[in-house]
Amino acid sequence: MSVSFHESNGVFRLDTPNATYMISLVDEERFLAHLYFGRRIPDDLPREMLRIPEEDYPSRKGRERLAFLDGLPTEYPGHGLGDMKQSCLEVETPEGYRCCGLTYRDHRIFGGKPKLPGLPATYGGPEDCDTLEIIAEDKVLGLTVRLFYTAFRKIDAICRSVRVENTTGRPLRLRTALSACLDMDDQGQYDLLTLHGNWSAERMINRRPVTMGKQGVSSRRGISSHQEQPFLGLLERTATQTRGQVYGMNLVYSGNFLGQAELTQQGQLRLVLGIHPEDFCWHLEAGEAFQTPEAVLTYSCTGISGMTHAFHDLYRNHLIRGPYKNKPRPSLVNNWEATYFRFDTEKILAIGREAAAAGIEMLVLDDGWFGKRDDDCSGLGDWVVNEGKLPGGLKHLVEELNRMGLRFGLWVEPEMVSPDSDLYRAHPDYALQIPGRVPTESRQQLVLDISRKEVRDHVYAMIHKVLSSANVEYVKWDMNRALTDVYSPALGPDRQGELYHRYVLGVYELQERLLTDFPNLLLENCCSGGGRFDPGMLYYSPQIWTSDNTEAIDRLRIQEGTSLIYPLSSMGAHVAACPSHTNNRTTPFATRGRVALPGCFGYELDMTKLTPEEKALIPGQLEEYRKYGPVFHNGDYYRLASFGENHACDVIMAVSKDKRVAVINYVEVENRARCRALRVELAGLEETALYRSSLTGEVRSGAGWMYAGMLLPRLEWDYSSALIVLEAVAQ
């Protein structure tokens, strides 16, 4: 097994292909201490690595207990007893105090991985992974805490979660319950890697040295957000794409989160990740339990690419589910940027005829098909087809499109309501709002209280009826604002701190119901673009709309940050109209296709308004997607050049798992005078195999392409692009 316990020295050990993780029992009290996480080693490390002997405190129960607890690299730190760094567990008793600390009681080791009740999580059977469950306790409180660790046998990933059980016999308040902690020595050697952004500029890469104090990422918007990503990367200062040690932490959750690195005066570095403690308070009656979301930890000794490959392989094989897990995703055209709200049946059919003639597989009808919805000021919540726009309802439209050979998809936004809607007029209490205050609108809409079962049931029944009325094979689930006015009349005063988390649980339940009732559906999540692009959503939808910014050059940086963690098969990426609706930039149709090619490919434009030259390019783009999309989606991804760093060009590469085919996607953003051709060292090839280049016909060994490199062609214009394919040849 990949998990073991050594009774002789009290050490738990978890091994992945290239990494080892160790936990040590310390002292007669059996504290749980973090011993090691790094390159795989055969040794059992001595306890002196915990630095306890350095402190030489002879009476840890007496006068120097504070110093001992503050210096101990604690595996899952409690609160208020001496560890002055960020706590992971804070419990409030009926008396009002918040002190808690955990010690070891028991453990079990088993093959496979348990599900997390009500939460998305990675999965695997006994052939894939092994799980360590440590049962810890606070003996004074009588509290039980179960720490779960799953080590994957073929992927350098360890997944952690925590279950807090109120075995005290009286009610408690859970004030903080984070998912994972990692205590390490810093010694001035690490950079912190995070992803920041905004609407239309999501997941911008930010790398900076770890400094004294607290730094990191967080969201209190009720969603993982455009602004931050529930991810922390810890890199050796000299780490590159292919060299150096890199750690990654990602939270499988879609709501408020805290990811934090804290460097102390003693050079101790603590990373924590989990539900944001602010605005969180969970009431636990005696006998009740609380389950934290899952945190994914990765380690790479081969640079950033190693971390990326671990996340990609884990999410593709052990998080994404359903019939589209391993299937090619259909090419599609979405009518949003083509028509916005101004469409009728004939307009959609006209777009459909052009799409079918070009070889596109699916048409997606976006916002405006329901209720009184001619702009974004009304109608949300009234999920009834507007037959003034679509006579005969969806059934007639879909049947006509199916006759053309097109599949059909539909946009919905189930979590929202417009004040100008029949739903809100009948049930104003269904919306989140605080009594006596004017509700805070965004896009002239409010958020439904999805934490309430009756609200979920009402909305879902309407959407279920619509989806059952026609052959709908794809749903784009949107969510277009942050949460405010967070109050629910369904919860008592002592439970309002549960609302943010209950909201997220409600969203998960709704999406699980949708997939259960429509098991062949392709679900794509969206949140005003990429505002909820996180592992929690990937559990329900194999692809997510990457950003509302469809402009190709901006998308280079957005897709670079996204692909740092998430597989290319999860990125919705479309060819949009020019000038861009986001920034008025004009780029060649061919380059727009190349930028979108690695993701889930489609078009976001009016097919009836394309020039003959543009229409002529579509069959070739679709052929590239059919031929090379599987390599990007299922192969190993490498970043060869970053436009975000060099401001001139962008080069990515994907290599099939059998290493027979490699595809290089090259965009020359700025054609600079008197510049030599760019040389890039390829990656991921079989050293002794021979590969032929589609660019020059040259045959070279994998080692030759990787170590001598390839000269990329100088392209003629700004925003030009090229696709280069290497295929293995018989020797």
Tokens for 299, please give them: 């380690």
Residue 68 reports pLDDT greater than 60? yes
Residue 458 reports pLDDT greater than 90? yes
Residue 60 reports pLDDT greater than 70? no
Task: Find residue 215's DSSP bridge partners.
Answer: 261
Residue 125 has phi, psi (to 5 degrees) of -90, 180
In this prediction, residue 91 carries a pLDDT of 98
What is the spatial distance between Cα 311 and Cα 299, in angstroms, rounded to a whole number?
Answer: 10
Q: Give percent helix, percent strand, percent coil of the chain, each to the nearest 5.
A: 25, 35, 45
Q: Quote the distance between the C-alpha of residue 671 and its chain's center.
A: 34
Confidence of residue 344 (pLDDT cuts 50, 70, 90): very high
In this prediction, residue 43 carries a pLDDT of 83
650 a catalytic residue: no
What is the spatial distance between Cα 707 and Cα 35, in angstroms, rounded to a whole number?
Answer: 37
Confidence of residue 57 (pLDDT cuts 50, 70, 90): very low
Residue 58 reports pLDDT greater than 60? no
Domains of the chain listed by start with CATH number: 3-318 (2.70.98.60), 332-414+453-482+521-633 (3.20.20.70), 640-729 (2.60.40.1180)
Catalytic residue, chosen from 478, 554, 636, 650, is: 478
pLDDT single digits (tens) 75-97: 999 999 999 999 999 999 999 99
Residue 61 reports pLDDT greater than 70? no
Average pLDDT, the chain: 96
In this prediction, residue 339 carries a pLDDT of 97
Residue 45 reports pLDDT greater than 80? no
Residue 574 reports pLDDT greater than 50? yes
Over residues 212-238, the mean pLDDT reads 97
Which segment of 41-45, 49-53, 191-195, 365-369 scores lowest on mean pLDDT? 49-53
Tokens for 343, please give them: 């469409």
Percent of the chain with pLDDT over 90: 92
> Shortest CA distance to 280 belongs to which of 107, 146, 88?
88
Over residues 661-674, the mean pLDDT reads 91
The answer to whether the Cα torsion of 396, 401, 402, 404 is positive or negative is positive
Over residues 155-169, the mean pLDDT reads 98
What is the spatial distance between Cα 158 and Cα 314, in angstroms, rounded to a whole number?
Answer: 10
Tokens for 501, please give them: 């988390």
Catalytic residue, chosen from 83, 548, 554, 636, is: 548
Confidence of residue 716 (pLDDT cuts 50, 70, 90): confident
Q: Quote the distance between the C-alpha of residue 650 and its chain's center.
A: 23
Using a cut of 0.95, tell me whether the model's pTM lies above it: yes
Over residues 544-550, the mean pLDDT reads 98
Over residues 414-437, the mean pLDDT reads 97
**Max CA pair span of the chain:** 84
**Pair type for strands 649-655 and 661-668:** antiparallel
In this prediction, residue 582 carries a pLDDT of 93
First to last CA, the chain: 39
CB 273 within 8 A of CB 313: no
Tokens 């589609």 locate to 694
In this prediction, residue 56 carries a pLDDT of 47
Full 3-state SS string of 401-433: HHHCCCEEEEEECCCEECCCCHHHHHCHHHECC
Percent of the chain with pLDDT over 70: 98
Other beta carbons within 10 Å of 612: 6
What is the spatial distance between Cα 706 and Cα 693, in angstroms, rounded to a whole number?
Answer: 13
Other beta carbons within 10 Å of 403: 10
130 a catalytic residue: no
In this prediction, residue 456 carries a pLDDT of 98
Residue 674 reports pLDDT greater than 80? no
Amino acid at 196: H
Tokens for 81, please give them: 């007893």
Which residues does 52 contact at the CB level (< 8 Å), separation at least 6?
Answer: 26, 68, 71, 72
In this prediction, residue 324 carries a pLDDT of 97
Confidence of residue 647 (pLDDT cuts 50, 70, 90): very high
Beta strands in 413-512 (DSSP E): 416-417, 446-447, 474-477
Is the N-terminal amide bond of 579 cis, ω within 30° of 0? Answer: yes
Angle of helix 552-563 relative to helix 589-596, nearest 10 degrees?
Answer: 10
